[in-house]
């Protein structure tokens, strides 16, 4: 039987706890009880955990043997900000696919109203990433970085840095993922609705990024992010 996995809010030695809304979900939705076994992720380890105490806002576990955890490739997703409901969908699915870091970026074509509302979204994005991590049995959620402008994203470092460009006609994303990226990581930049501007693409290229495309079709921003992440993750796992 496959045990449900949760990411601990608190852990120390052989003890861990879920608190607040996280615990409330276990109590009210899953109706957990003392003695039940789950899998608990904390820090860099994943262990079996038996519930020792249940309250509305706190569920405590006694931790047991370590459980093997999948090793995910280092994929940083630079995600230009677009409509929040669609962006949340992209964050959720790209988390399930294994991105290690998501960097929201204010692009030239990011709606000004969205840019102005960013201060209220960080906590929600982190919660979505955490829930998606538990769903996909990750040991930890991806880092959700503070939003930055395109100029700040240009200096992100990795073995391979790729910006998706609709105008790219010769280079496909699937063809640029090399063994070195599997060892040292990749940064993948996905533009907003309407794509990157010519000036932005030029800035990426001048900073040493490779331009690539997903093919001849034009995808919505969230679809492009999910498809690109799936391509990269699959390629890195096979190298």
Enter the pTM of the model: 0.84
What fold characterizes domain 75-238?
A: Alpha/beta knot (3.40.1280)
What fold characterizes domain 5-66?
A: Ribosomal Protein L25; Chain P (2.40.240)
Domains 5-66 and 75-238 share a fold: no
**What integer best gives the mean pLDDT of the chain?**
91
The residue extents of the domains of the chain are: 5-66, 75-238
Task: Tell me how far apart the terminal alpha carbons of the chain are, to the nearest angstrom.
Answer: 31
Across the range 211-231, mean pLDDT stands at 93
pLDDT per residue as tens digits for the range 6-48? 999 998 889 999 999 889 888 988 899 999 999 998 877 899 9
pLDDT at 185 over 70: yes
Q: Which residues are CB-contacts of 163 (< 8 A; sequence separation ≥ 6)? A: 189, 191, 196, 201, 204, 205, 209, 210, 211, 212
């Amino acid at each position: 039987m496959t045990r449900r996995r949760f990411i601990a809010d608190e852990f120390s030695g052989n003890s861990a706890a879920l608190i607040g809304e996280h615990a409330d979900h276990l109590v009210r939705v899953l109706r957990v009880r003392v003695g039940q076994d789950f899998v608990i992720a904390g820090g860099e380890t994943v262990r079996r955990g038996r519930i020792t105490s249940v309250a509305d806002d706190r569920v405590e576990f006694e931790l047991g043997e370590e459980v093997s955890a999948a090793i995910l490739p280092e994929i940083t997703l630079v995600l230009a900000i677009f409509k929040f409901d669609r962006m949340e969908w992209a964050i959720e699915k790209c988390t399930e696919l294994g991105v290690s870091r998501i960097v929201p970026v204010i692009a030239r074509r990011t709606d000004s109203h969205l840019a102005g509302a960013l201060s209220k979204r960080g906590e929600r994005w982190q919660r979505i990433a955490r829930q998606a991590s538990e769903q996909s049995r990750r040991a930890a959620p991806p880092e959700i970085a503070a939003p930055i402008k395109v100029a700040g994203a240009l200096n992100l470092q990795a073995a391979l840095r790729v910006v998706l460009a609709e105008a790219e006609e010769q280079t496909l994303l699937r063809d640029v993922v090399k063994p070195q990226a599997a060892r040292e990581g990749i940064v993948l930049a996905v533009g907003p609705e309407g794509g990157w501007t010519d000036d932005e693409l030029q800035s990426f290229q001048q900073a040493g990024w490779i331009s690539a495309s997903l093919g001849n079709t034009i995808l919505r921003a969230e679809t492009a992010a999910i498809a690109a992440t799936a391509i990269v993750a699959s390629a890195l796992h096979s190298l």
